[in-house]
Amino acid sequence: DGGITQSPKYLFRKEGQNVTLSCEQNLNHDAMYWYRQDPGQGLRLIYYSQIVNDFQKGDIAEGYSVSREKKESFPLTVTSAQKNPTAFYLCASSIGAGAINEQFFGPGTRLTVL
């Protein structure tokens, strides 16, 4: 079955630690995205990538980093510089560039920083 997988589903970390969230897709999509969702707020774009080896900052990139070494994979690292990292993180992909394309979401990772 084609789709997007994110792991782990739940993640707990101590304050000050970096943590990497995994996102893999087998849909052969060029574009991939990372969002965070907080209660009462819409999804906010952290980073996105239109093609392998290229990515751009979204609206709230501070304290995060990404890489896109393979088409299938777009891991997100939440660094200790992120002031409020506890959130629901969603990875998405779309067939290509252009916001006319539907974005497909993975099941998400709930990160709690203690």
Minimal CA–CA distance to 71: which of 20, 23, 28, 22?
Answer: 28
Residues 31-70 that bind another protein (CB under 8 A): 31, 33, 35, 40-43, 45, 48, 50, 56, 58
Q: Which of 25, 82, 93, 94 contacts another protein by CB under 8 A?
A: 94
Q: Name 29's Cβ contacts closer than 8 Å, sequence gap at least 6.
A: 71, 93, 94, 95, 96, 104
The residues that touch another protein, with contacts defined as CB under 8 A, are 31, 33, 35, 40-43, 45, 48, 50, 56, 58, 88, 90, 94, 97-108
